[in-house]
């Protein structure tokens, strides 16, 4: 009897060792695990993305491994390597540097793990199956159109308005889309002399902001103000690609601009501090992208992939959220990446209540706060 018991024990041990081998610390609860790699906690939106994605996937019965990489490319590569070692079933990645994940994602592919590029396209890799984002060109277009309307450029006559541009991180594939979207709307007015870029800085590389960093946007704007506007030249508008750069620009305007007006300043994301600036008249608008919706579409896509389906246009059509299936706009250097693109909208002082109606913001006195956990 003792002998039989010892044999049974030995078999059980061998079996459980086999189950552990190569299994990282994957939970053995029969649920699939999704690995989510976010760029940083230092910008408000990625905290919201992380928490909405986690919530959606857990509600749908998946385990979630969520990492933040502190805007550090090496760390993001390590974080993804770890998720691969843990044998996650699917990876969702918002890249810090779209060009810097090729080798790591090759490894994921070799391990049979499908990858979704989340919000930012990942370049030069054939490991990506799909891309989920907002229509990034439209984000910029909405910013350009806002300025066109605010300055009434169509009826400007012989008036000349001064403008500057602040774009995003060159390592982020989205940044050029935003910049081009805005620039294409405003370029005819620059060409006609109705808009004057006093600094002469109209190229993306010149106006870009590494890592979308607020302090860098602030420093650059202070330099522009000192160099081109200190003699009282009026600055009418600054196109900023997102809220973190808009924050730096409006700080520079408050401290170092003496033209007597507050320029129109655009933004993107609906960050709480920027919504406060909108209430206080320091920023004019933000392009809002409901990242809870981005999480919902990402979940629907992930489910299909994990169920062995090959989702295409019908997935976009079946969403309650407005979303298009795009197989033209996003080429990552290895070919077109099929994309699900959501629709951004403009938020100003006049429609802040729309944000409250999403359930993701609430009034606290005159200002909005986030309801995200």
**Contact string 192-221 vs ligand BGC (x = CB under 6 A):** --------------------x---------
119 binds ligand BGC (CB under 6 A): yes
d(CA 275, CA 130): 32
CA distance 343 to 350: 20
Contact set for ligand BGC, span 75-94 (CB under 6 A): none
Consecutive H or E run containing 352? helix 352-357
Residue 257 touching ligand BGC (CB under 6 A): no
Q: How many residues bind ligand BGC (CB under 6 A)?
A: 11
Q: Is 326 in the site for ligand BGC (CB under 6 A)?
A: no
**Are the beta carbons of 160 and 245 closer than 8 angstroms?**
no
Using CB positions, name the residue nearest to ligand BGC.
242
Q: Which of 26, 48, 109, 120 binds ligand BGC (CB under 6 A)?
A: 120
Q: How far apart are CA 82 and CA 95, in angstroms?
A: 16
Q: Taking CB under 6 A as the rule, does residue 332 contact ligand BGC?
A: no
Question: Three-state SS for 218?
Answer: helix
Inter-residue contact 130 to 91 (CB < 8 Å): no
- Nearest CB to ligand BGC, comparing residues 77 and 242: 242
Query: Does residue 62 interact with ligand BGC by CB under 6 A?
Result: no
**Those residues with Cβ within 8 angstroms of residue 109's Cβ, 6 or more apart along the chain or in another chain:** 115, 126, 127
Neighbour count for residue 230 (Cβ, 10 Å): 12
**Residues 291 and 36 sit within 8 Å (Cβ to Cβ):** no
43 in contact with ligand BGC (CB under 6 A): yes
Going by C-alpha positions, the residue among 44, 104, 92 that lies closest to residue 65 is 92
**Contact by Cβ (8 Å): 160, 190:** no
For ligand BGC, the binding residue among 172, 222, 294, 326 (CB under 6 A) is: 172
**Residue closer to ligand BGC (CB basis): 54 or 289:** 289
Q: Of residues 45, 109, 176, 220, which one binds ligand BGC by CB under 6 A?
A: 45
Q: Applying CB under 6 A, which part among 107-115, 166-174, 247-255, 352-360 lies near ligand BGC? A: 166-174
On whether the CB atoms of residues 101 and 121 are closer than 8 A, the answer is no
Is position 293 an interface residue for ligand BGC (rule: CB under 6 A)?
no
Judged by CB under 6 A, which stretch of 85-93, 140-148, 168-176, 320-328 contacts ligand BGC?
Answer: 168-176
- Applying CB under 6 A, the residues found at the interface with ligand BGC are 43, 45, 119-120, 168, 172, 174, 212, 242, 268-269
């Amino acid at each position: 009897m003792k002998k039989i018991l010892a044999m049974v024990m030995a078999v059980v041990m061998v079996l459980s060792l086999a189950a552990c081998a190569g299994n990282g610390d994957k939970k053995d609860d029969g649920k699939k695990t999704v690995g989510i790699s976010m760029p940083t906690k230092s910008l408000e939106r990625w905290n919201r993305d992380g928490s909405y994605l986690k919530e959606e996937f857990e509600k749908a019965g998946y385990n979630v491994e969520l990492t933040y990489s502190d805007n550090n490319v090496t760390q993001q590569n390590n974080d993804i390597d770890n998720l691969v070692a843990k044998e996650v079933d699917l990876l969702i990645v918002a890249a810090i540097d779209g060009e810097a994940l090729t080798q790591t994602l090759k490894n994921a592919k070799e391990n049979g793990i499908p990858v979704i590029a989340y919000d930012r396209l990942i370049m030069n890799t054939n490991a990506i199956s799909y891309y989920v984002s907002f229509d990034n060109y439209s984000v910029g277009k909405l910013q350009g159109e806002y300025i066109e309307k605010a300055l009434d450029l169509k009826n400007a006559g012989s008036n000349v308005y001064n403008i500057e541009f602040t774009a995003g991180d060159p390592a982020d594939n989205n940044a050029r889309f935003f910049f081009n979207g805005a620039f294409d709307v405003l370029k005819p007015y620059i060409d006609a002399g109705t808009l004057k870029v006093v600094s002469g800085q109209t190229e993306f590389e010149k106006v870009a902001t590494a890592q979308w960093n607020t302090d860098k946007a602030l420093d650059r704007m202070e330099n522009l103000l000192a160099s081109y506007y200190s003699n009282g030249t009026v600055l009418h508008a600054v196109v900023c690609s997102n809220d973190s750069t808009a924050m730096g620009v409006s700080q520079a305007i408050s401290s170092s601009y003496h033209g007597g007006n507050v320029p129109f300043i655009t933004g993107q994301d609906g960050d709480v501090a920027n919504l406060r600036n909108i209430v206080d008249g320091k920023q004019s608008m933000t392009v809002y992208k409901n990242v809870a919706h981005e999480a919902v579409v990402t979940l629907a896509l992930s489910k299909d992939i994990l169920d062995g389906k090959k989702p295409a246009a019908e997935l976009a059509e079946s969403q309650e959220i407005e979303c298009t299936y795009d197989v033209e706009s996003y080429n990552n250097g290895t070919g077109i990446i099929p994309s699900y693109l959501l629709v951004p909208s403009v938020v100003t002082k006049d429609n802040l209540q729309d944000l409250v109606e999403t359930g993701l913001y609430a009034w606290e006195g005159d200002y909005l706060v986030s309801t995200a956990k």
